[in-house]
A and B are shown apart, each in its own frame.
Chain A
Amino acid sequence: MTTLFGQFCMLLIFSLALAAVASGFRDDDPKKILRGIVRRGLMFSGAVIAIGAVALLLDSWFLRP
């Protein structure tokens, strides 16, 4: 059984890994890469959480029979 906290941790880990790879690909300077990891990680996880929130809202209101 999964928990909301567990799912959140999975999202955070995946977002960080994705951000690390994307930032490493985009930049060559370590400082820029580190800043990029934080920015891209937050952006990606924020976007997923926002989409999840919209889906939850639609589920509890519009799509419920």
Chain B
Amino acid sequence: MAALLIVSILGAVFSADSTAIGQIMISRPIFCGPVIGLIIGDIETGLKIGMLMELIWITVVPMGVSLPPDSSVVTTIATYLAVIFPGNIPGNIPGNIPAGGQEHIVFYLLMAIPMGILFKKLDILHRKYNSYFVYKMEQKINEGKFGYINKAIYSSALFFILKGFIFLMVIILTASLVLPGIYRVIPGNIKDSMNLLFYILPAVGLGTAMTTFFFKKSRRLRNEKIK
């Protein structure tokens, strides 16, 4: 439970970096995956997930006013689940073929990716409600209390972190109740193909990066609807 708390707080800080505070890229999966892994005791799994995630969403960028799906949330959830509920736990269905050892990473990653898109929707909602601070600021300017600007910035930043914390707590708690059970009854051959996917999925990132760099059609990228 302590691990869950620390991971949620850290994950919330990391996810706030991508849109709200800093933009010093502690929200990139290649950073936050290993760090989360280090905290709960398995840096290697975190690094693997971070690497995969970094490659998969390599060209997803916040162009103009559009918001990208949040990769740090995906990495945090997947790393926590993959480290705490690893692959070959006792109690597997007898006869299950033990696969290559990477299958739990891919399984939790595939389950966590939609959460990044859900978190993006929450972010859009949050940004809509931020208009409240603008109205309040206009009132305070008329009253001559300019110091309110500091208060508005700090409280909004705090809300960003709080939102991420609650989101991560709820999602990780629900997922850790449901997903390990599902993972246990997955047939061996599907686990085998998930292990294979660990080596194939980097191709998605390499291919997307190649098309962006090579064909230079950034306008298409900008119009692309990320779903």
A and B are partners in one complex rather than unrelated chains: no
